[in-house]
Amino acid sequence: MDAVLQQTLVDAVSMLQSRAIPFAVIGGLAVSFRGQPRMTVDVDLVIKAEIDAALRLVETLETTPFEPLFAGVEDVVTSAFILPLRHRMTGVRLDVAIGMSGFEQDAVQRATPVDVRGVAVPVATVEDLLVMKALAGRPQDDQDIQGLVAAAKAPIDWARCLAVAEALGSAIDLDIAARLRSARPPGDPPL
């Protein structure tokens, strides 16, 4: 990870921890930490917070290294449940997803720390990243799924992945579990 991404991530960690907002790194950086390193130009986090807490964060941004990506960001927080920011010094974008679903909140709770410049940074688990990537469904997400599976350092809890994917897919009428089933290595024991 290059220096500007590191600085952005460490500053985001400091900002959220100082406000006691639980969070986890997701997206490309999390895939790089948990799977195979890949290029990314932004930092993606999910926070365990209600809309009101996210709006309070917006109100205090002047005291942080971050600024809203555009005016009226409060409307995006309340309608799309995301807080798009930019680091004032590095220029790197920070997308803070407001974890409204039980799955997102659980993913924050399950996150485990990775050391970044001496800072313990909570990163989503491989299983949660697999579900998130299957849900997003873009070509890059398919590559990320393959990279996570190929580089997994411990056995993947496929039963949990598939159960969560089936529940989420059922809620949105989309078979996201099929994406995960096809990513399982051929020699894996049946579930």
Residue 112 has pLDDT above 80, yes or no: yes
Residue 145: the pLDDT is 95
Domains of the chain: 1-124 (3.30.460.40), 125-191 (no CATH)
Classify residue 129 as exposed, middle or buried by CB count within 10 Å of its CB (0-12, 13-18, 19+).
Answer: buried
pLDDT band, very low/low/confident/very high, at 90 (cuts 50, 70, 90): very high
170-190 pLDDT, tens digit per residue, is 998 989 999 999 998 877 776
Q: What angle do CA 60, 66, 69 make, to 5 degrees?
A: 105
Closest to 97 (Cα-Cα) out of 25, 174, 20, 10? 25
In terms of DSSP H, where are the helices of the chain? 3-18, 27-34, 51-59, 73-80, 102-110, 126-136, 139-151, 158-172, 177-183
Read off the pLDDT of each residue in 20-31 and give the average, rounded to a whole number: 96
Asked if residue 59 lies in contact with residue 74, where contact means CB atoms within 8 angstroms, the answer is no
Residue 95 has pLDDT above 90, yes or no: yes
- How do strand 23-26 and strand 93-98 relate by DSSP bridges? unpaired
154-174 pLDDT, tens digit per residue, is 899 999 999 999 999 999 898
φ/ψ (deg, to 5) at 66:
-115, 150
Question: Interhelix angle for 158-172 vs 126-136, to 10°?
Answer: 30
In the numeric block, the tokens 């409204």 are attached to: 100
Residue 125: the pLDDT is 97
pLDDT band, very low/low/confident/very high, at 35 (cuts 50, 70, 90): confident
Residue 188: the pLDDT is 77
